[in-house]
Amino acid sequence: MTETELRIIAANAVQQALFSGATDAECTLSDGSEFSVSVRLGEVEKIKEADSCGAGIRVLLGQKQGSSYTSDLTPEGIEQMVASAIDIARITEADPYAGLPEASELGQLEIDLGLYSPDTLSTAEKIEIAKRAEAAALAFDPRITNSDGASFDSHSGTRVFANSRGFLGSYRSSSCSLSAVPVAKSGDRMERDYWYSIGRDPSKLEAPELVGRLAAERVLRRLGARKVPTQQTTIVFEPRVARSLVGHIFSAVSGDAIYRKSSFLLDKLNHLVAHPSVTLVDDPNIPGLFGSSPFDDEGVPGRRHLVIENGVLKTYLLHTYTARKLGLATTGNASRGLTGSPGTGHGNLYLEPGSMTPKEIIHAVGTGLYVTELIGQGVNTVTGDYSRGASGLWIENGELTFPVAEITIAGNLSQMLENILHIGNDLDFRGSTSAPTLAIGGMTISGAE
Amino acid sequence: MGLSSSFFGQKFGISERDLDRYLGQALDRGADYADLYFEYLATSSISLDESIVKSATQGVSLGVGVRVISGERTGYAYSDDLSPAKILKAAATAACIADSPSKVDTVGLTPTLQHDLYPVLRAPIDQPLEERVLFVKRADAAARFKEPRVIQVQASYADSLRHVLIATSDGKLSFDRQPMARLNVSVLAREGEGTPQQGYSGGGGRVGLDFFTGSNSPEAYALEAVRQAIVQLTAVEAPAGESVVVLGPGWPGVLLHEAVGHGLEADFTRKGTSAFSGRIGQKVASELCTVIDDGTIDSRRGSLNVDDEANPTRHNVLIENGILRGYLTDHLSARLTGTQSTGSGRRENYQHIPMPRMTNTFMLAGSSDPEEIIRSVPKGIYCANFGGGQVDITSGNFVFSASESYLIENGKLTRPVRGATLIGNGPEALQYISMVGNDLKLDQGIGICGKEGQSVPVGVGIPTVRIDKMTVGGTAR
């Protein structure tokens, strides 16, 4: 369907809801296509290709709200969806804070954010790119004996949003990614690791040979990993894992966590919550990046916010509901899928880079652990308690030495933010959260006795 | 049941001739196998926060996935429109992708024999919404009753009814109606101006609304969530380092899911990328351990009458008295390894390619008295409840996160400790199991397993076990 057709469907759905008795309504539509190919040991393993669409509607009956969704965008499908939302809204209860943004808050960024560029590659070319990435990994070293494959994925789609306060907006976006997952063996132990590249179109991707080689280097340096003794030490997070810390801060500054008193950053607005070298930015307006969009999922234009500035917590991230709960204004951080009510999201949420290179940080740390992978969900953003499985490389005399695995690292997020010792200059945007290399002191490693 | 009286036959007029035509198109370019997966999924959910039923959602999704396999190559396409033109187009796309010289023809479709594990007469979703609204309100009232330290309560109820129709080029035809319901309660408790602590409980399965009574009532879940949060108010730092670990019965069975379950999925084992590849017949656990994956248990969240490739689910022995006996296979991995599917081919929905997955994974009961197990430990940690876990199937390293645990001092449970991650290595961790209790318990029915971007409902279970050595990721020395 064309963007215009989708806009008409969304606007009509909102009108139908009002006609059926809703006092307010908003409709989200998405229409897109996906392609993915994976190759393994030089042969195509899986190819998938499909188009899909869906719609979601939220209706208000005064201060009661309900929502519905459908994968059927025909007039009958939309009609059923609207009826279903109104039907289910009746069983909910009045919530004095429920509602859409004020008309004055609605709007969209007019500049071209560069979110879409057409996919010009043929299937054969995509297969070739994936094969080249895998081949580069396999050829890199004889200890790379196996592969979990390489894949090329692409997606493009249109998002439309309309509400009964007069907003109608839409935008197209595209993305593609290339990844390689080699397996290396030494004795009877195997390891795997990966590298990936992501872009709005294939021309923005790293070369397949580079993706393969970086994946190969990463897996090789894991071979022969051992536990280190239980101890307190400094942990250096490489960017690929440092960005998960940005994600935890996000959970703790989102308005939902604040009004529910379930955040370790509760009541900390305008307080020092991190080392003064820390500045955390949320910016949905940076062209081409993966957290960019011309309006949030309630039709409010997103803005650049300093969430933490020089260590001081300056703002929570809010959408209309949480803003009203806290007596504040929305920060344009509404996020939603097709189903349900909006929640909190972010644009490009990143930690401002510092001036040291990763090598200088490792040198300055002297002794500690350089973490390259974290597993598990042992992070409690209510209390800040942090405990995750880790692997990486041991730092001795300011250099990376042997690989380490089967250990955990633990601490508390409040103290971890205060104990940030060094921030790298290697900020790189590979998704909507980003962070450079970070060194954090005073963490506990659990390992061997 | 015949196709004409099935859900898809009646609602969408799909006939055997249609299925033949679609499969024929899928095999048109040459292939070894093709299948069709039709899915109609209706869901509803209700959520309560701050004692207000703040939102409720219901909706429907519908679609068909077409898969074509040729050798090790899979082509997949789907459509969210069931018109013949769209399905034929999807079939042609999948066929073109798998393109191969080999050639098979469709054979006549025969309904597969399948279980009847969840004969729920009325699925929750077909009953009045008001009854379900009462669940979240009752949970809220119970959580707040007489416990002033509870400062927040969230309760949510969700259910779904999935109809599937699966037809395969080797003649299998299968229909299933898969109900699911789940109620969750999460609370926050605070002592004065101290740090708030969370408690979480819930349950469900492929059940009707009458399931949510007695020990599965909203009140029971609420009180359990409150109990956990209150326990955490006095918790001390978890220990750091290697320790004796005793797992309580039930949900701690997530250990098995992470430590061995994923590593035994045959997509990994056949490619040699799992730490358990090529280890059938070897000792991978202490002889006290027998581990089962069983998709045939009545009404369980992880159970299925038939898997998503039209094979009946089974009671699969993975580890028997410590010896590795079998892997979990789907159609493709079974064919490539010359075995039978273990009925483990699952997918999140019609938009996804099936792969080997767990159903309900548990360890059989042993002979030890659970009290005796705790008494045997001079110094260690007892884990009663867990959150999620994760595994790197290639190295075998896995973690799982304890949400409720206690120190064991001189054979007695003493102080509660804060949440911590436990880490181990799959082929080694179960070798350290030195006692297995006689109290096997399955979880309450809230498990979700994620793999390669696909989530499916699963169950776990375990009796009380003593593990002589495992690394506990706390902060206290």
> A197 - beta bridge partners?
A178
Distance from CA of A449 to the nearest CA of B (A): 6
User: From A189, which residue of chain B is nearest by alpha-carbon distance?
Assistant: B395
The CATH code of the domain that includes A144 is 3.30.2290.10
Task: Confirm or reject contact between B385 and chain A (CB < 8 A).
Answer: no
Q: Chain A window 183-212: which residues touch B at a Cβ cutoff of 8 Å?
A: 183, 189-192
pLDDT of residue B108: 83
Q: At what angle do helices A123-139 and A208-220 cross, to 10 degrees?
A: 30
| Stretch 25-54 of chain B: residues touching chain A, C-beta under 8 Å | 44-46, 49, 52-54
A260, A340, A385 member nearest B418 (Cβ): A385
A389 domain residue, yes or no:
yes
**B46, B59, B76 member nearest A48 (Cβ):** B76
A 429-448: CB under 8 A from B? 444-448
Count how many pairs of residues, chain A against chain B, have C-beta atoms within 8 Å: 257
Name the nearest CA neighbour of B45 among B158, B185, B127.
B158
CB B456 within 8 A of CB B346: yes
- Compare CB distances from A71 to B61, B73, B97 and report the shortest one's residue: B61
Distance from CA of B312 to the nearest CA of A (A): 25
User: Which residue among B76, B152, B472 sits closest to A262, beta carbon to beta carbon?
Assistant: B152
CA–CA dist A21, A202 (Å, integer) = 47
**Measured in Å, how far apart are chain B's first and last C-alpha atoms?**
63
Question: What residues of chain B lie within 8 A of the CB of A191, using their CB?
Answer: 394-395
In a domain, A167, yes or no: no
User: In this complex, do A387 and B93 lie within 8 Å of one another by their Cβ atoms?
Assistant: no
Q: Are residues A240 and A374 in the same domain?
A: yes
Closest CA to B200 of A47, A158, A380, A238: A380
Cβ atoms of B439 and B425 within 8 Å: the answer is no
CA atoms of B28 and A161, how far apart (whole Å): 41
Inter-residue contact B185 to B212 (CB < 8 Å): no
Test A69 with B61 for CB contact under 8 angstroms: yes
CA of B115, closest CA in chain A: separation in Å?
A: 30
For residue B8, is pLDDT > 80? yes
CB spacing of A50 vs B351 below 8 angstroms: yes
For the cut 90, the answer to whether the pLDDT of residue B2 exceeds it is: no
A267 touches chain B (CB under 8 A): no
Mean per-residue pLDDT, B275-291: 97
Nearest to B72 among A43, A54, A409 (CB): A43
Judge whether A109 and A186 are in contact, CB under 8 Å.
Answer: no
How many domains does chain A contain in total?
Answer: 3
Q: Using a CB-CB distance cutoff of 8 angstroms, which residues of chain B are in contact with residue A39?
A: none
Which chain B residues are within 8 Å of A61, Cβ to Cβ? Answer: none
Helix axes A3-19, A75-89, angle to 10 degrees: 40
| Interchain contact B379–A (C-beta under 8 A) | no
CB-side neighbour CA atoms (13 Å) of B436: 25
Per-residue pLDDT of A289-347, as tens digits, reads: 999 999 999 999 999 999 999 999 999 999 999 999 999 999 999 999 998 899 999 99
Q: Supply the mean pLDDT for chain B.
A: 95
The residue among B39, B336, B399 with the most chain A CBs within 10 A of its CB, best to mutate, is B399
Nearest residue of chain A to residue B267 (CA atoms): A148
Q: What residues pair up with A235 in beta bridges, in sequence order?
A: A369, A440
- Tokens 């692409």 belong to residue: A154
Q: ∠ at Cα B298 (B294, B301), nearest 5°? A: 70
3-class DSSP state for residue B344?
A: coil
Residue B388: predicted pLDDT: 87
Three-class SS state of B137 = helix
Structure tokens that stand for A32 in this block: 């897109």
Tokens of B418: 């804060």
CB-based contact A72 B471, cutoff 8 Å = no
Write down the pLDDT at residue B99: 67
Model confidence pLDDT, tens digit, residues B104-151:
777 788 888 889 999 988 888 888 888 899 999 999 999 999 899 999
Measured distance CA(A53)–CA(A40) in Å, rounded? 31
How far is it, in rounded angstroms, from Cα A321 to Cα A340?
Answer: 14
pLDDT tens-digit profile, chain A (449 residues): 899 999 999 999 999 999 999 999 999 999 999 999 999 999 999 999 999 999 999 999 999 999 999 999 999 999 999 999 999 999 999 999 999 999 999 999 988 999 999 988 999 999 999 999 999 999 999 999 999 999 999 999 999 999 999 999 999 999 999 999 999 999 889 999 999 999 999 999 999 999 999 999 999 999 999 999 999 999 999 999 999 999 999 999 999 999 999 999 999 999 999 999 999 999 999 999 999 999 999 999 999 999 999 999 999 999 999 999 999 999 999 999 998 899 999 999 999 999 999 999 999 999 999 999 999 999 999 999 999 999 999 999 999 999 999 999 999 999 999 999 999 999 999 999 999 999 999 999 999 98
Cβ-nearest to A411 among B133, B151, B475: B475
Radius of gyration (Cα) for chain B, nearest Å?
Answer: 24
The confidence score (pLDDT) of residue A408 equals 97
**Chain B residues within 8 A of A85 when measuring between CB atoms:** 58
Does the beta-carbon distance from A406 to B424 stay under 8 Å?
yes
Length of chain B: 477
Please state, in angstroms and as integers, the Cα–Cα distance from residue B189 to each residue in A160, A409, A411, B149, following that order: 41, 27, 22, 5
**What pLDDT is stored for residue A176 in this prediction?**
97
Indicate whether A180 belongs to any domain.
Answer: yes
A71 at B interface, C-beta within 8 A? yes
Best residue in A47, A338, A379 to probe B by mutation, most B CBs within 10 Å? A47
pLDDT at B373 over 90: yes
Residues 92-121 of A with CB under 8 A from B: 92-95, 98
Considering only the beta carbons, identify the residue of A92, A94, A407 that sits closest to B471: A407
Q: Specify the residue for token string 């989708």.
A: A6
In 10 A of CB A370, how many CB atoms?
A: 24
- Are A272 and A374 within one domain? yes
**Position of tokens 């730490």?**
B275
Q: How far is Cα B286 from Cα B284, in angstroms, rounded to an integer?
A: 7
Q: Name the residue type at position A199.
A: G
Q: Please give, rounded to a whole number of angstroms, the shortest distance from the CA of A358 to a CA of chain B.
A: 26
CB contact under 8 A, B63 and A262: no
Chain B closest CA to A59's CA: distance in Å?
10
Contact A56 B73 (CB under 8 A): no
Checking if the pLDDT of B98 tops 80, the result is: no
Three-class DSSP category at B276: coil
A219 touching B (Cβ < 8 Å) = no
What's the rounded Cα separation, in Å, for the pair A245 and B141?
Answer: 36
CA B67-B73-B75 angle, to 5 degrees, is 30
For residue A51, the chain B residues in CB contact (below 8 A) are: 79
Q: Distance (Å, rounded) from C-alpha A126 to C-alpha A132?
A: 10
SS (H, E, C) chain A: CCHHHHHHHHHHHHHHHHHCCCCEEEEEEEEEEEEEEEEECCEEEEEEEEEEEEEEEEEEECCEEEEEEECCCCHHHHHHHHHHHHHHHCCCCCCCCCCCCCHHHCCCCCCCCCCCCCCCCCHHHHHHHHHHHHHHHHHCCCCEEEEEEEEEEEEEEEEEEEECCCCEEEEEEEEEEEEEEEEEEECCEEEECCEEEEECCHHHCCCHHHHHHHHHHHHHCCCCCECCECEEEEEEECHHHHHHHHHHHHHHHEHHHHHCCCCCCCCCCCCECCCCCCCEEEECCCCCCCCCCCCCCCCCCCCCEEEEECCEECCCECCHHHHHHHCCCCCCCEECCCCCCCEECCCEEEECCCCECHHHHHHHHCCEEEEEEEECCCECCCCCEEEEEEEEEEEECCEEEEEEEEEEEEEEHHHHHHCEEEEECCCCCCCCEECCCEEEEEEEEECEC
Return d(Cα A323, Cα A137) in angstroms, integer. 49
Contact list, A152 vs chain B (CB under 8 Å): none
Compare CB distances from A446 to B52, B90, B474 and report the shortest one's residue. Answer: B474
pLDDT at B123: 87
Judged by DSSP in three states, B57 sits in strand
Domain annotation covers residue A160: no
Give me the mean pLDDT over the B260-282 stretch: 97
Regarding whether A230 and A216 lie in a shared domain, the answer is: no
CA neighbor of B234 nearest in space, from B202, B189, B200, B201: B189
What tokens does A443 get? Answer: 């963490």
According to CATH, where is 3.30.2290.10 located in chain B? 7-233
Do A5 and A154 touch, CB atoms closer than 8 A?
no
Within 8 A of A94 by CB-CB distance, chain B residues are: 52
DSSP string, B66-132: EEEEETTEEEEEEES---HHHHHHHHHHHHHHH--S--------EEPP-------SS-GGGS-HHHH
Tens of pLDDT, residue by residue over B387-420, are 889 999 999 999 999 999 999 999 999 999 999 8
Helices of type H across B176-280 = 218-233, 254-256, 266-271
- CB of A426 within 8 Å of any CB in chain B? no
- A118 CB neighbour count, 10 Å cutoff: 9
Q: Tell me which of A369, A408, A413, A414 to substitute to probe the interface with B (most B C-beta atoms closer than 10 Å).
A: A408
CB within 8 Å of A197: residues ≥ 6 apart: A177, A178, A179, A205, A206, A210, A211, A430
User: In a 10 Å sphere around its CB, with 0-12 CB exposed, 13-18 middle and 19+ buried, how is residue A33 labelled?
Assistant: middle
Same-domain check for residues A279 and A382: yes
- Rounded distance between C-alpha atoms, residue A61 and residue A66, angstroms: 8
Model confidence, pTM: 0.96
**Where does B7-233 sit in CATH, by number?**
3.30.2290.10
DSSP class of residue B446 equals -
Interface of B with A in 152-211 (CB under 8 A): 152, 154, 188, 190, 195-198
Interface of B with A in 290-329 (CB under 8 A): none
Its domain, for residue A415, covers 225-449
